[in-house]
Structure 1
Amino acid sequence: MLDVDLKKFPALPGVYLMKGAQGEVLYVGKAKHLRNRLRSYFSVTGDGRAHIRFLMNRVETIETIVTDTEKEALILENTLIKKYRPRYNINLRDDKTYVSLRIDMREEFPTLQLVRRVKKDGARYFGPYSSSTAVKETLKLIYRIFPLRHHPLEACRRRDRPCLYHQIEQCSAPCHGLISPSEYAALVDGAVKLLAGREKEVVTLLQQRMGAAAEKLDYEQAARLRDQVQAIEQTVEKQKVADAGGGDQDVVGLHREGGEVELAILFVREGKVIGRRSYSLEWRLAEDELLSSFLQEFYSRDVVIPDRLLLPLVLEDSETLADWLSERKGKRMQLLVPQRGGGRQLVEMARRNAEESFREKGSRREARQQVLQDIATRLQLGRLPQRIECFDISNVQGRFSVASMAVLSDGEPDKGAYRHFRIRTVTGSDDYASLYEVLKRRLTRGMEEEVLPDFILIDGGKGQLSVLNAVLEELALSDRIDAVGIAKSRVRSNVRGKVVERSEERFFLPGRKNPVVLRQGSPALFMLERLRDEAHRFAITYHRKLRRQSTLHSALEDIPGVGAQRRKALLRHFGSLKKIKQASLEQLKDMPGLPSTLAERIFDTFHKSGSSE
């Protein structure tokens, strides 16, 4: 273990970085008293956490950064963790994306948008919702009751008539002046109240309007309003009500078993539970430190920060965390540890959710381990493939050559570990040379960072597999990493081109002439096919992105005065690059915020050169 003079460390708040022999950052931590915190790592009894024992055997140097306050230390710790991604810090693997609804009340006719990032842009956000399917169902209900616009206002105004949504009575067509601004504002107010959980106010308002319509003998309008009230009441009945003071709050539950911890977060909005997320963590820290690290990682993302956060235990740095979260939220929020009443019941509900999630994942984990064991047996691997990586190359006639790496960790997609590669040394369409470059770059870096796969699956046959074997031998990794190639199924057709037979997927193994065929429909085959398809999808997506960027560069970036923001504004206003090229000079000059001289320059660029594509 590292021999250090603890007296040289400052007795002040700050951040410490533990580094390995190559200078790599292994762990980042914060402390309100750096010397005392570091002393705990070198005490006679030692730190009880298992991963700390392994960590300290690898630490060569410790660097400290002093801050003025604990809050500054917390912020700096988050920044450094994102920068270095230390191996021994918490890494939340979450294959779900947070879905929220956004509405900007400053727009002429505000509308609802489905977004996956919450920004500080002055707009109002609702959520997070448990899934995109759930939020789309919510939007369907809202549009039936409050027909807000669906599409960009300017694009709709260029149309000769309102869109299909207006015809099915799910859009009030403000773009064509079929509703006044005040009437539209009333629709927006109702939609916002409904999303905020104030259904009673909305129902009361609609009932008043229904009575007024009936008095005027407008029974058709009264019937529509009656249906809207019933739709709201039916929706509200489906929601779980939690009597804990109402308002927006997130509730954290914790379940510990063996060497693992399961954390569950319940999202409560206006007294109703609208969703749940759960995370599995190794029990590497004291519970309060683990929970604090988890909350920092979770809320440093683009997520909605609630008014209150209900926790199962008191955190040493709760005051600092509350200040940091309040700053991110833009107003004061509270960290509470309820001891009785509805709040305590919610925390207990979150704990039960964490326990149930642990049980569910446990059964799935056992099933995945069985599948991995089956893969190891059938493909004659030298070890259980806990981490599997699959590589794919994508290019069109040798242009924009890219590669992708998709990863399975313990049998599940680890999307945070996916990687893109730009091919640097190969010109033209040479998949073998491109694959050699990418594999060598990946494995060389993996050796430096000590993050290597157990098993590499190559999308291709014997040729691609021979490239992989050559790289493994060159880096002396043949005994450390198993290698297999997966070749797509072959199709036989008759003289008319009709498919008459489709062969199974074939797996090529080093040193074996004939391929291995896994049973059709088997979980092992499904897992490997899914990984191969993920690598292919990831490569194609990146390849298309580079092609789009190149197209935009050649068409717009060479025009003086058209920067990144101006390009986005042009595309947003006209809808596509093709329509920008086809726009008349008058249409360009009519675009808000576009100077006349720049409009003329854009028009001349696309028309004097005779460009029409």
Structure 2
Amino acid sequence: MQDVDLKKFPTAPGVYLMRGADQAVLYVGKAKNLRSRLRSYFSAAGDGRSQIRFLMNRVQGVETIVTDTEKEALILENTLIKKYRPRYNINLRDDKTYVSVRLDPREEFPALQVVRRVRRDGALYFGPFSSAGAVRETLKEIYRIFPLRHYPMETCRRRGRPCLFFQIGQCSAPCHGKISSERYRELVKGVVALLSGRESEVLGQLHQRMQDAAAQMRYEEAARLRDQIRAIEQTVERQKVVAAAGGDQDVVGLHREGGEVEIAVLFVRQGKLIGRRSYPVDWRLDEGELLSGFLQQFYGRDIFIPEQVLLPFLPPDAETLGDWLGERKGKKVAVLAPLRGEKLALVEMAASNAREAYRERGSRREAREGVLEEIRQRLHLARLPRRMECFDISNVQGSLSVGSMVVFSDGEPDKAEYRHFRIRTVTGADDFASLGEVLGRRLKRGLEEGLLPDLILIDGGKGQLGAVVAVLEELGLAGRLDVAGIAKSRVLANVRGKAVERSEERFFLPGRKNPVLLRQGSPALFMLERLRDEAHRFAITHHRKLRGKATLHSALEEVPGVGPTRRKALLRHFGSLKKVREAPLEELQAMPGLPGGVAEAIFEYFRREGVE
């Protein structure tokens, strides 16, 4: 796209969409002045960024959307990136949110919840934690020190006695009146202080209570308080203080080599480093756009936003980013690029983490390159299988058929690219036809978007492979894409029919009569088996979800007066469909918001013979 009349572009703030062939969106960007920003792309002299050529060689047209303010442009840019997922915008492969701990102090007996979304709902949130395992370890220690309840009050009150956690001292059983609300509030205050990093405050209170209990000769209580103090002190010892001033901060470090960038984020809460996350990014545009795009994606989810975000440098739209983050948090957020002192030391620490993560990823990448090369040679592929896609079909006696596609990029799962397919044109359990439909839809879209796999792996033998080859020939892709079928190992019996052994996995290739066998235990075999198993897991998980919805629909929506909203309310109140089915009439009638006539109809429906 060479001849462009830049005067036709507005000088107002807004968003621009760069489109390629077939009007596919390649890149979405924002600007305070659209004409000035686009001039940097289209000027004959260029702006010194040779990497712009990688994008501009594919651009066929530019569309602009004007906004009133730069912040509105940022929000719109974020929305359009989520909608179109452009190839040249930042794509964080690990886009799942972190786990946090939620506590709502407005409840009579607050409980701790592990959540992945941080909402502005008046509750307190602590974290983030880098893994669910880290949360479990933290909560295990907290329940030993401060025994808050574990389960919903309604569930526990239906039990005849307190649960096992009460018996082992990790729950105070407010559901059965074993603790007063005032005493429970003291436990909650201790939990909040501990999770907020105010251990010294908690230790001071516990020391005073221990001394008072000992002075009044309540030695068992004093011993229990002593054990709590020791548990907290051991927990604190494992944490590293990195900022004397305290406070909540996210610290971003960046390391770049060529077109590869590693971004590391350190989570500092109340002056303590509690976790780290790193992200590999393929990026060829300038670092200002890189950092701005990363922050938008990172904080565009429902996650905790700290009071300060420390950066290695300020992107051009730093002020707008700060306003946007403050709006999402509900209070002011400072976006800073420190030049001296402890904050600069934190940014340098984050950069060191990014550099180390890049080095570790490089060694892992080299190892994966060797595995991919082995796969290429053993399966006689035309190219290195950098993008491998595996497809699987799941159904139960031909009903609710679904297909799954999982993607490995450079040997690692690329979960943002996973897809589900509802089978539309096939009736009954015809896996070959279902596979043909799924592949046809996937490859047609790939041709339009210019994104095709290097290797298609099918869970099956010659029959499934034949269905794939037929689709490739129909679309004119035969010979352009590599394809293989992986057949599960067979159980073989000896001549007496008693002793059994398992054969090796077999790989079928087009035009080859005998299957290929990979060395047992080889990294290449492990990677391909992992790809196949991931496709199977992904299909089964989605199919179970559809089955559950179908079962729920057939079981409750046939009852007069029960619609989607009331169905959800019943499940929330009773906990499961099984408990709704088994509930006595009195319990159904006692449910808030459920009319007596509907309660009777539900009770009668599930008591009919043959209703499951």
**Band of TM-score, shorter chain:** over 0.9
Where does 1:498-513 land on structure 2 (aligned, <5 Å)? 500-513=500-513
- Aligned partner of 2:332: which letter? R
Counterpart-to-counterpart distance in 2, 1:261 and 1:58: 23
Counterpart-to-counterpart distance in 2, 1:179 and 1:385: 62
Aligned length: 612
The residue aligned with 1:345 is: 345
Deviating beyond 6 angstroms after TM superposition, the runs of 4 or more aligned structure 1 residues are 494-498
Where does 1:346-361 land on structure 2 (aligned, <5 Å)? 346-361=346-361
Indicate yes or no: 2:317 matched with 1:317: yes
The Cα offsets for residues 439-490 of structure 1, whole Å up to 9 and x where unpaired, read as 1111111111111000001000111111111111111112221011100011
- Aligned partner of 1:538: which letter? F
- Aligned partner of 1:464: which letter? Q
The residue aligned with 2:308 is: 308
- How many Å apart are 1:153 and its aligned residue? 1.2
Q: Is the 8 A contact 1:51 1:88 kept in 2?
A: no
TM-score between the two structures when normalised by the length of structure 2: 0.97
The residue aligned with 2:362 is: 362
The residue aligned with 1:470 is: 470
Against the structure 1 CA distance between its residues 369 and 48, is the aligned structure 2 distance closer, same or farther, given a 3 Å change threshold? farther
Against the structure 1 CA distance between its residues 497 and 559, is the aligned structure 2 distance closer, same or farther, given a 3 Å change threshold? farther
Q: Is the 8 A contact 1:40 1:47 kept in 2?
A: yes
Q: Is the 8 A contact 1:408 1:414 kept in 2?
A: yes
Against the structure 1 CA distance between its residues 133 and 50, is the aligned structure 2 distance closer, same or farther, given a 3 Å change threshold? farther
Counterpart-to-counterpart distance in 2, 1:448 and 1:175: 59
Identity %: 72
- How many Å apart are 1:612 and its aligned residue? 4.5
2:57 partner SS: helix
Q: Is the 8 A contact 1:128 1:267 kept in 2?
A: yes
Counterpart-to-counterpart distance in 2, 1:553 and 1:219: 58
- How many Å apart are 1:118 and its aligned residue? 2.0
Counterpart-to-counterpart distance in 1, 2:75 and 2:244: 31
The residue aligned with 1:135 is: 135
Counterpart-to-counterpart distance in 1, 2:496 and 2:141: 50
- Aligned partner of 1:227: which letter? D
- How many Å apart are 1:56 and its aligned residue? 1.9
The residue aligned with 2:120 is: 120
Where does 1:349-498 land on structure 2 (aligned, <5 Å)? 349-493=349-493
- Aligned partner of 2:163: which letter? C
- How many Å apart are 1:58 and its aligned residue? 2.3
Counterpart-to-counterpart distance in 2, 1:585 and 1:50: 74
Where does 1:39-438 land on structure 2 (aligned, <5 Å)? 39-49=39-49, 52-94=52-94, 97-438=97-438
The Cα offsets for residues 269-288 of structure 1, whole Å up to 9 and x where unpaired, read as 00000000111112322112
* Higher mean C-alpha deviation, range 302-311 or range 569-578: 569-578
- How many Å apart are 1:256 and its aligned residue? 1.5
- How many Å apart are 1:138 and its aligned residue? 0.4
Against the structure 1 CA distance between its residues 120 and 241, is the aligned structure 2 distance closer, same or farther, given a 3 Å change threshold? same
Against the structure 1 CA distance between its residues 498 and 390, is the aligned structure 2 distance closer, same or farther, given a 3 Å change threshold? farther
- Aligned partner of 1:288: which letter? G
Q: Is the 8 A contact 1:2 1:60 kept in 2?
A: no
Counterpart-to-counterpart distance in 2, 1:569 and 1:495: 60
The Cα offsets for residues 57-109 of structure 1, whole Å up to 9 and x where unpaired, read as 22222111111100000000000110111111111111765111111222221
- Aligned partner of 2:224: which letter? R
Q: Is the 8 A contact 1:2 1:59 kept in 2?
A: no
- How many Å apart are 1:493 and its aligned residue? 4.0
Q: Is the 8 A contact 2:97 2:117 kept in 1?
A: no
Counterpart-to-counterpart distance in 2, 1:584 and 1:263: 56
Against the structure 1 CA distance between its residues 6 and 39, is the aligned structure 2 distance closer, same or farther, given a 3 Å change threshold? same
Superposed CA RMSD in Å reads 1.6
Q: Which runs of 5+ in 1 are unaligned?
A: none
Counterpart-to-counterpart distance in 2, 1:296 and 1:441: 32
- Aligned partner of 1:201: which letter? E
The Cα offsets for residues 166-198 of structure 1, whole Å up to 9 and x where unpaired, read as 110000001111011111111111111111111
Counterpart-to-counterpart distance in 1, 2:95 and 2:320: 29
- How many Å apart are 1:49 and its aligned residue? 4.4
Q: Is the 8 A contact 1:213 1:221 kept in 2?
A: yes
1:58 partner SS: coil
Against the structure 1 CA distance between its residues 497 and 243, is the aligned structure 2 distance closer, same or farther, given a 3 Å change threshold? farther
Where does 1:27-46 land on structure 2 (aligned, <5 Å)? 27-46=27-46
Counterpart-to-counterpart distance in 1, 2:377 and 2:100: 44
The Cα offsets for residues 398-450 of structure 1, whole Å up to 9 and x where unpaired, read as 11111101110011000010111111111111111111111111111111111
Q: Is the 8 A contact 2:97 2:301 kept in 1?
A: no
Q: Is the 8 A contact 2:97 2:302 kept in 1?
A: no
Counterpart-to-counterpart distance in 2, 1:397 and 1:111: 43
